[in-house]
Amino acid sequence: MRILPWLYLVGSRQFGLSSPWDCHIYALRRDHGGILLIDAGSGLANSRIIANLKAEFGDPLPPVTILVTHHHPDHAAGTAPLARELNAEVCTSDLTAPILTAGQSDNPGYPEHMVYAPCLDVRTYRPGATLDLQGFTIETIPVRGHSEDSVAFLLDGEHLFSADIVFYGGLLGLINAPGSDLTAYRQDLPKLAGRNIQGFFPSHGLFTIEDGQQHIDTALIELQKGFVPRAIGQGDLIF
Ligand SMILES: [Zn+2]
């Protein structure tokens, strides 16, 4: 599903593109370059993700890099098999890499048949670094609060892939799970203030191609109040 001339959605629960356990999986490609995937999904529908990629980009596919936002299973459990099937390079922060390379045996809330397999070959970066992947220049912005290893990706200084950090309407990704922390949100979310972000592409729910900054600003205002801010799961947006 094409969003912009260089941006596609190739996996998603909400848009019915892959497994109900998958986050949004964005594919970036400019001109005739390689493909940059943002996250890999749960691994429960890799064949559908690959079919979606081939429908958009042809068969055989150009080279693929998978850039993982954080370690949660709906984003990362499928990384190892997807990378193997696509012969893709995997890149993630040095906060997430230890979990990716070890895999996870205990994934509460996810189907028992889901496998979070170790991904042994991972290229790492230090959060805050600027990456050049498949022709895209990406500023990495670590923002704790949803998880300790969450990183947002800022493309061309104006398009933000916000992972589960902040969602459309200013919802936070504050969840009842280890590593999710409102104090960390207060400390780190201001890193996304005042950036005049246009394209705003969270990993669940709605996205927008213009005036994305308003959703971040709404979250920042909510964080200054004395009550627990609106967060994913509190309304009908589960994930
Ligand atoms: Zn998450």
Instruction: Tell how far the Cα of 203 is from the centroid of ligand 1, in angstroms.
Output: 8
The reply to whether 64 falls in a domain is yes
State how many domains the chain has: 1
Q: Does some domain include residue 24? A: yes
CATH number of the domain that residue 92 is part of: 3.60.15.10
Token digits for 195? Answer: 């950036």
The reported pLDDT for the residue numbered 98 is: 98
Name the nearest CA neighbour of 68 among 41, 44, 87, 48: 41
Residue range 92-116, pLDDT digits in tens: 999 999 999 999 999 999 999 999 9
Q: Do residues 146 and 164 lie in contact, with contact meaning Cβ atoms separated by under 8 Å?
A: yes
Averaged pLDDT for residues 140-161: 98
Kindly give the distance from the C-alpha atom of residue 79 to the centroid of ligand 1, in angstroms, as a whole number. Answer: 15
How far, in Å, from the CA of 175 to the mean position of ligand 1?
Answer: 9
Give the 3-state secondary structure of 29-56: CCCCCCEEEECCCCCCCHHHHHHHHHHH
Q: Kindly state whether residue 235 falls inside one of the protein's structural domains.
A: no
In this prediction, residue 236 has a pLDDT band, given cuts at 50, 70 and 90, of low
CA of 69 to the centre of ligand 1 (A): 9
On average, the pLDDT of the chain sits at: 96
Is position 150 within any domain? yes
Q: What is the pLDDT of residue 233?
A: 85
Question: Considering the domain boundaries, does residue 237 fall inside one?
Answer: no
Whether 198 is covered by a domain: the verdict is yes
Q: How far is the CA of 209 from the centre of ligand 1 (A)?
A: 22
What pTM value is reported for the model? 0.97
Tell me the CA–centroid distance for residue 32 and ligand 1, in Å. 31
The pLDDT value recorded for residue 238 is: 56
Summarised one tens digit per residue, pLDDT across range 34-48 is 999 999 999 999 999
CA of 144 to the centre of ligand 1 (A): 11
230 lies in a domain?
no
Does any domain span residue 231?
no
- pLDDT for residue 235: 66
Q: Which domain holds residue 125?
A: 2-223
Distance CA 151, CA 140 (A): 6
Residues 6+ apart with CB under 8 A from 145: 165, 172, 173, 174, 180, 181, 182, 184, 185, 188, 189
Task: Assign 239 a pLDDT band (cuts: 50, 70, 90).
Answer: low
CA distances from 37 to 7, 32, 205, 210 (A): 10, 15, 18, 21
